[in-house]
A and B are shown apart, each in its own frame.
Chain A
Amino acid sequence: MNTKLKVSKISKIYPGCIANDNVSLNFESGKIYALLGENGAGKSTLVKILSGVINSDHGQIFLNDKLLELNSPKDAKDNNIGMVFQHFNLFETLSVLENLSIDSEKKNEELRVLVNEILRKYNFKIDLDVPILNLSAGQKQKVEIIRCLLRNPKVLIMDEPTSVLTEQETEDLFLSLKKFSNEGILIIYITHKLKEVLSLCDEVAVMRKGKVVSVSRTRDEELSSLANKMIGESLIKIKKKNNNTLSSEEILKVSNLNFISDDPYEINLIDINFTLRKGECLGIAGISGNGQNELFQILSGEIISNDSSIRFRNKEISKLNPKERREFLMAFSPEDRISQAAIPSLKIYENVALNNFKTSNFFEKGFLNEKKIKNHSKKILSNFSVNTDNVNLKSQFLSGGNLQKLILGRELITSPELLICFNPTWGLDVGAINYIHQTLMQINEQGKSIILISTDNDELLQLSDRISVINQGKLSKIINAEDVNPEKLGLLMGGGVIDKN
């Protein structure tokens, strides 16, 4: 039977923010719909309303012309609307079968038979008796999907499902979703990744600032048209940066750096050597988990290596801690914004104050000089276009992009000579990525240097002057960026060697 889902004039207002503004959409089974938008565009709010987690302030939802009252997640389930959240709703310490049985009236043995049928039909491989915490992200997602399938859903909503998946898992997921769609399940796919929309979905609705700005067939769209609709302004093509400022002056020299870790899960670094010139961006590519973390920590001083092997502007710095290195005008932006770079439960200005320098005078006789810190924070917020001017806001309420801008701003406002950043745009939407790339280029153009450790090859090729690949804790020979293309980079990342000819 055909399923029709109609969302009519939905609004949801939070204090200070209209999350959904008069949203109307029509969906029909047999197709896969994309709901596309940047972080904070209101997609998640809409699906939370559809799945009964929150109530809308205005508007109605119809399923096959029947008005739905969705006051709780149970109501949505009872109306055959299934939902897989971005953050899984699983119980980590319970087994797979226990997780599924919470939601089901069936006896365990009946349930096991049913689940095994689903596993076979869609070729999922999951042990039903292991606790969830032993599963990979892809498997956890499958458990969520099975939970929905057990209820014979008419509608299946997937909220940013690929953010935690590997490439292979993503392909598997897409195959499954296409199967479900062929079986008559209406699929709504929420994402901010343009490529996924084009490769998976039939129709696409774009949301921006709480409003639906466009509904179209994906075959009439291409990457750039979707990106423009999503961001609302033509993507400024990043110009290739101007290399005039590149000088031969050496800013950082790392020689014979070795790091042997006691922790079996850490990667040992073997004989790392490189030099960085003033105004240069050195890219360090590699598949994640090949020693990037360890390298970042050693360069930033989180780990002190025993060899005296790092010289910054001709001074030996390998024994200095991160704060002392910052005093020397180095700056660091770690990979994990939430746990390494900022403290989410602290206010913006408090996070800013954590980076105190001798010269900044944030503290007077042990007391916070709040006025000074707040003024300094305001300057960061406006200079780095963070979309709030409230320095008393807790950092956890900033979106990933804005938090990253704040962190970069905090590091850069003191005009450091060297910035070391690790996956600075990981998980951000196109607008924020663009902004951060431009900022990094500006730094180079001002004659400052960057070490960019990243797993995003496009980013590396765009920003770096020279690139090296880290593989199993070893750095490859450093190559000029003009001589590298994505294929070569891929070969090096797998541990291959480029033939001179």
Chain B
Amino acid sequence: MNIDINFIGILIGAIMASSVPLILAASGELITERSGVLNLGVEGMMIIGAISGFALMVITDNLFFAIIGSMLSGLLLSFIFGFLTQSLITNHVATGLALTIFGIGLSAMIGKDFVGIPGKEFPLLLVNLKERIPFFGPIFFGHSVIFYFAFLLPFVTNYFLKKTKIGLIVRAVGDSPISASNQGINVLLVRYCCILYGGAMCGLAGAYLSLIYTPQWIENMTAGRGWIALALVVFATWSPIKVLIGAIVFGGITILQLHMQAMGIRIPVQFLSALPYIMTIVVLVIISRDSRKIKLNTPTSLGQMFYKEK
């Protein structure tokens, strides 16, 4: 069989593009969780990011405002979560679930008037190189700026956590907020910042979906990607690089199984649809077997409420 090398390049490029929202949301959530906060509202923040980005694009006709606006909306939603869980000391899990339900409902309400409006073309970088270089061209070129940002992000996150003082403080807070507080660290401030950053990244992930990946608004268009991002963080044992690997595996198998379905391979469709979920977990479990490393990367205080003695 003659395999078109260019086709494989395009396939890999498509796989990478489909993993972008997962990488963004999971990297944001990873920082939040590393500070000891479990925000289950990822899906809600993503979908709010998607609708606000799309709505702003339609209203202002400016993609830059749309992107910034989507990040701000994710941030705003995460602020609600932060205020409830950190200042009013509510339960992380319940609050996060409520946030997701709220986000999905609110986005559907805002989105009523935007259904069916076509999106705007998003500027892609280095398109000419994409066509000129075989195989590598479609993989590395002709993507949006957010694509490149997403693939850089896990490495930056890793460097931030391991090599910078602020990263160290984030890890310390996630390890033991009480010790951190006794060391004079403002635990609430650190956790708020991490929550807001996570919210902004989820908003951006949503905007990527509605502005670039499938440029239009469809109700519930995140379709569970927020939950996958959450699962990625846990199964990648809070390591940014493993999150990247997990996201690519998930994106890859999603796209491949679609092709397999299209080719009419005689495997039940339900099994193929389930494959990305199973394989991502299997792969991440296999690459995260070192129990000593898991212990070192897991934020010990994850999901615990913290309040200061007076």
B171 within 8 A of A: yes
Find out whether the CB atom of A89 lies under 8 angstroms from the CB atom of B183: yes
Bound CA–CA A91/B297 (angstroms)? 12
A–B pairs, 20, beta carbons within 8 Å? A53-B309, A55-B310, A73-B182, A74-B184, A89-B176, A89-B182, A90-B176, A90-B179, A91-B172, A91-B176, A91-B179, A92-B300, A93-B175, A93-B297, A93-B298, A94-B168, A94-B172, A102-B168, A102-B180, A103-B183
B241 within 8 A of A: no
Find out whether the CB atom of A102 lies under 8 angstroms from the CB atom of B185: yes
B14 within 8 A of A: no
**A133 partner residues in chain B, CB cutoff 8 A:** 295-296
Find out whether the CB atom of A85 lies under 8 angstroms from the CB atom of B182: yes
A169 to chain B, nearest CB (A): 21
A191 to chain B, nearest CB (A): 21
Q: Quick one: which of A78-103 are within 8 Å of B by CB?
A: 85, 88-94, 98, 101-103
Find out whether the CB atom of A102 lies under 8 angstroms from the CB atom of B169: yes
B104 to chain A, nearest CB (A): 34
| A102 closest partner in B (C-beta) | B172
Which 6 residue pairs spanning A and B have beta carbons closest together?
Answer: A74-B184, A89-B179, A91-B175, A89-B182, A91-B172, A93-B296
A416 within 8 A of B: no
A490 within 8 A of B: no
B283 within 8 A of A: no
A278 within 8 A of B: no
A72 within 8 A of B: yes
A128 within 8 A of B: no
Find out whether the CB atom of A54 lies under 8 angstroms from the CB atom of B175: no
**B171 partner residues in chain A, CB cutoff 8 A:** 91, 93-94
Bound CA–CA A94/B296 (angstroms)? 7
B76 within 8 A of A: no
Bound CA–CA A77/B298 (angstroms)? 29
Bitwise, B205-225 to A at CB < 8 A (1) or not (0) is 000000000000000000000
Bound CA–CA A89/B309 (angstroms)? 15
**B261 partner residues in chain A, CB cutoff 8 A:** none
B240 to chain A, nearest CB (A): 16
**B178 partner residues in chain A, CB cutoff 8 A:** 89
**B185 partner residues in chain A, CB cutoff 8 A:** 102
A495 within 8 A of B: no
Bitwise, B277-310 to A at CB < 8 A (1) or not (0) is 0000000000000000001111010000000011
Chain A contact residues: helix, strand, loop or mixed: loop
A131 within 8 A of B: yes
CB < 8 Å: which of A48, A77, A92, A101 contacts B168?
A101
B245 to chain A, nearest CB (A): 22
Bitwise, B151-185 to A at CB < 8 A (1) or not (0) is 00000000000000100110110011011111111
**A54 partner residues in chain B, CB cutoff 8 A:** 309-310
Total interface residues in chain A, CB < 8 Å: 23
Bound CA–CA A56/B299 (angstroms)? 33
**B184 partner residues in chain A, CB cutoff 8 A:** 72-74, 77, 103
Bound CA–CA A88/B171 (angstroms)? 17
**A73 partner residues in chain B, CB cutoff 8 A:** 181-184
**A88 partner residues in chain B, CB cutoff 8 A:** 179
**B296 partner residues in chain A, CB cutoff 8 A:** 93, 131, 133
**B172 partner residues in chain A, CB cutoff 8 A:** 91, 94, 98, 102
**A101 partner residues in chain B, CB cutoff 8 A:** 165, 168
**B295 partner residues in chain A, CB cutoff 8 A:** 93, 133
Bound CA–CA A53/B309 (angstroms)? 7
**A85 partner residues in chain B, CB cutoff 8 A:** 182
Please give 8 more A-B residue pairs, beta carbons under 8 A apart, in addition to A93-B298, A94-B175, A102-B185: A73-B182, A73-B183, A91-B175, A91-B176, A91-B179, A92-B175, A93-B296, A93-B300
A115 to chain B, nearest CB (A): 16
| A101 closest partner in B (C-beta) | B168
Find out whether the CB atom of A98 lies under 8 angstroms from the CB atom of B168: yes
Find out whether the CB atom of B300 lies under 8 angstroms from the CB atom of A53: no
Bound CA–CA A259/B77 (angstroms)? 58
Bound CA–CA A91/B300 (angstroms)? 9
B264 to chain A, nearest CB (A): 50
**B168 partner residues in chain A, CB cutoff 8 A:** 94, 98, 101-102
Interface centre among A51, A53, A89, A91 (most CB of B within 10 A): A91
**B300 partner residues in chain A, CB cutoff 8 A:** 92-93
**A55 partner residues in chain B, CB cutoff 8 A:** 310
Bound CA–CA A98/B180 (angstroms)? 13
| A104 closest partner in B (C-beta) | B165
| B179 closest partner in A (C-beta) | A89
**B183 partner residues in chain A, CB cutoff 8 A:** 73, 89, 102-103
Bitwise, A113-134 to B at CB < 8 A (1) or not (0) is 0000000000000000001010
| A83 closest partner in B (C-beta) | B182
B162 to chain A, nearest CB (A): 10
**B175 partner residues in chain A, CB cutoff 8 A:** 91-94
B294 to chain A, nearest CB (A): 10
Bound CA–CA A465/B310 (angstroms)? 50
Bound CA–CA A85/B182 (angstroms)? 10
Bound CA–CA A320/B181 (angstroms)? 48
Bound CA–CA A77/B171 (angstroms)? 22
**B169 partner residues in chain A, CB cutoff 8 A:** 102
Bound CA–CA A72/B172 (angstroms)? 18
**B309 partner residues in chain A, CB cutoff 8 A:** 48, 53-54
**B297 partner residues in chain A, CB cutoff 8 A:** 93
Q: Quick one: which of A129-166 are within 8 Å of B by CB?
A: 131, 133
B203 to chain A, nearest CB (A): 30
Bound CA–CA A54/B178 (angstroms)? 13
**B180 partner residues in chain A, CB cutoff 8 A:** 91, 102
Bound CA–CA A53/B184 (angstroms)? 9
**Given contacts A91-B171, A93-B298, are A53 and B176 in contact (CB under 8 A)?**
no
A287 to chain B, nearest CB (A): 29
Q: Quick one: which of B29-81 are within 8 Å of A by CB?
A: none
**A91 partner residues in chain B, CB cutoff 8 A:** 171-172, 175-176, 179-180
Bound CA–CA A77/B181 (angstroms)? 13
Bound CA–CA A325/B179 (angstroms)? 43
A496 to chain B, nearest CB (A): 39
| A76 closest partner in B (C-beta) | B184
B149 to chain A, nearest CB (A): 29
Interface centre among B168, B184, B297 (most CB of A within 10 A): B184
A420 to chain B, nearest CB (A): 35
B154 to chain A, nearest CB (A): 20
**A89 partner residues in chain B, CB cutoff 8 A:** 176, 178-179, 182-183
Bound CA–CA A91/B182 (angstroms)? 12
CB < 8 Å: which of A51, A92, A131 contacts B176?
A92
**A102 partner residues in chain B, CB cutoff 8 A:** 168-169, 172, 180, 183, 185
**A131 partner residues in chain B, CB cutoff 8 A:** 296
A55 to chain B, nearest CB (A): 7
| A77 closest partner in B (C-beta) | B184
Interface centre among B169, B182, B297 (most CB of A within 10 A): B182
Bound CA–CA A51/B182 (angstroms)? 9
B187 to chain A, nearest CB (A): 12
**A103 partner residues in chain B, CB cutoff 8 A:** 183-184
